[in-house]
Structure 1
Amino acid sequence: MHRNEQLYNFLVGNSPQMTEDWYKLVEGIEEEDSVYSTNDPEVIKNLKEQNQDYFLHLHELFINKEEDFFKQFKAWSEELARDQKHLKTPVHFVVREFMNSEQIYINYLKSFFKNNSDKVDIDQFLSWNDLIRRVVNLSIYIYIEEANKNTLKQLTAQKEIINELSSPVILLRNNIALLPLIGDIDTARALIILENTLAQCAELRIEDLCIDLSGVAIIDTMVAHEIFHLIQALNLIGVRSTLCGIRPEIAQTAIQLGLRFDDIRTTATLSQALEMILNN
């Protein structure tokens, strides 16, 4: 049986000192981008309050049913793991502090066991240790999972921004514009290019668009089809398209792949494309 009200009262009574013991391990640490290396009194106060809250939730293990405890603790830990200051701190620093908290906690379990060895046997003490390690491991898992979600969310947002910035329609003169394409084009980016280009051409009332491929390193069947789709969609809204800047190695690859640009206006350079547009 893991529940023990005397142990619970002992831990609750020592909670403030447990937090101070934990912070002694943190104080003076100098780490870049770590919330624990702060000298801000308000941040330090908040860190101690969070640690104290963490310990108080751990104490509940010794007065509640194990199943009920883990259900409640998991929900609370998921909310704690979303704390932005900790999410901005490198994961290994946060994991280290979970492990430091675990060691502090076990030290107090040892103290209680030594003072109550006549009432608590070694098997009970070891079972408490195992339970605390399980709880802390759960905390670490939940935090890492939340940190991973946060990282993926940031990467997705950054990728969307990069994709939007990498497919701008640039107004050159009158109703003529340029779409410079740079880098690899996958299905997701091709969709963004299609949507952004159509929207910008409609907004700027573009009549002729030069699609510059000089910055595209690789072209395959998929990329070619996406370019064809873009040109067809532009044609539907009244925009004439001209491909320019196809590099020799790209042209050679296109021939090897059997890709045909017979029905599309192409020029070697942007200046030639502009001259063709102005003379038509």
Structure 2
Amino acid sequence: MYVNNQLYQFFIEKTWSLTEEWYTSIDKSNTAGIYATENPSVIELLKQQNYEFHVKFSEVFNKEKEAFLFDFKSWILKVASDPEHTQTPIQFIIKEFHRTQEQYLKLAKLFIERDKDNYSIQEIHQIYHSITVTMNHVIEWFTKEFNKNAEKRLHAQQELILELSTPVIALNRNVALLPLVGEIDTTRAKILLEKTLEECNRLGINVLLLDLSGVVIIDTMVAQQIFQLIDALSLIGVKTHLSGIRPEVAQTAIQLGLKFDKVSVNSTLAKSIKLAYI
């Protein structure tokens, strides 16, 4: 990194003006998310974040690389997880990083031209190189953290969807219903096992009506996990009534050698309900 205290001071003195210049030049007709907002409080937040970025980035001319990156980390982590930024498409965020880089290159050029006789071609190259290389590193770093946060949100949403797709519905103080619909893969089957046991224990029920009439296909792994659930439920004192098993699902269970001696099997949910209330 190219350390130059005069250049650092020159940049620091321009931080707020850089922010105002940057914000007023945003083309709101060709952007989205936080950059297109008209909310005064969000605009103020955006400007503050941009100003803090300038303060952090100016240190590229004042600190060695390791210290510079250490100090920059807090800004990266904070903004990459900021709700307003996470709702902004990444291509627009990268676009603003590049526009900020253009500001820095113009500012560096202005600084050099004021006293160009004191700077060799090599030093001038070092100044421009420090700006572009550091900005590229910051963009890559920010994008990595941004994507990491996006993956966490997606995973949390998927888990929520899976939990909602395995609802244990209390019918009375002793009986609950678990209607399964759609495809059951190994991930959903795992959630099914965990959440069903938790809910049955929380509700304090004695009987669970497990209806599979909405399930068309179950592979061997999932069939085994469903029977593991039935076994686990019996260990906590819950009797399972199984209903709505399609012929192809029954065939899979038989081929696996799965036994139905620990579970009451009925052709329809109505029959399971009737038996549960006898």
In the superposition, the TM-score normalised over structure 2's length comes to 0.86
Specify every segment of 5 or more residues in structure 1 that has no aligned partner in the other structure, as ranges. Answer: none
Aligned to 1:260: 258
Change (3 A) 1:207 1:71: closer
Aligned to 2:10: 10
State percent identity of aligned pairs.
42
Aligned to 1:102: 101
How do residues 13-162 of structure 1 correspond to structure 2 at under 5 angstroms? 13-26=13-26, 28-29=28-29, 31-32=31-32, 34-162=33-161
Q: Which amino acid aligns with 1:236?
A: L
Shift of 1:61: 1.7
Aligned residue pairs total 277
Q: Which amino acid aligns with 2:148?
A: K
2:79/2:85 contact within 8 Å kept: no
**Greater CA drift, 160-169 or 92-101:** 160-169
Q: Which amino acid aligns with 1:260?
A: L
Partner Cα separation in structure 1 for residue 158 and residue 246 of structure 2: 26
1:2/1:128 contact within 8 Å kept: yes
Q: Secondary structure at the match of 1:217?
A: coil
Deviations 1:143-200 (A, max 9, x none): 2222222222222322232222222222345733321122333444334323332333
Partner Cα separation in structure 2 for residue 76 and residue 175 of structure 1: 53
1:29/1:36 contact within 8 Å kept: no
Shift of 1:270: 1.1
Change (3 A) 1:253 1:101: same
Deviations 1:78-114 (A, max 9, x none): 3443333222222111111111101111111122223
**Greater CA drift, 126-135 or 8-17:** 8-17
In the superposition, the TM-score normalised over structure 1's length comes to 0.86
Q: Secondary structure at the match of 1:127?
A: helix
Q: Which amino acid aligns with 1:53?
A: E
1:219/1:254 contact within 8 Å kept: no
**Greater CA drift, 75-84 or 240-249:** 75-84
Partner Cα separation in structure 2 for residue 70 and residue 274 of structure 1: 64
Q: Secondary structure at the match of 2:13?
A: helix
Partner Cα separation in structure 2 for residue 201 and residue 3 of structure 1: 65
Partner Cα separation in structure 2 for residue 12 and residue 238 of structure 1: 69
Partner Cα separation in structure 1 for residue 201 and residue 47 of structure 2: 56
Q: Secondary structure at the match of 2:72?
A: helix
Partner Cα separation in structure 1 for residue 203 and residue 75 of structure 2: 51
Partner Cα separation in structure 2 for residue 143 and residue 71 of structure 1: 14
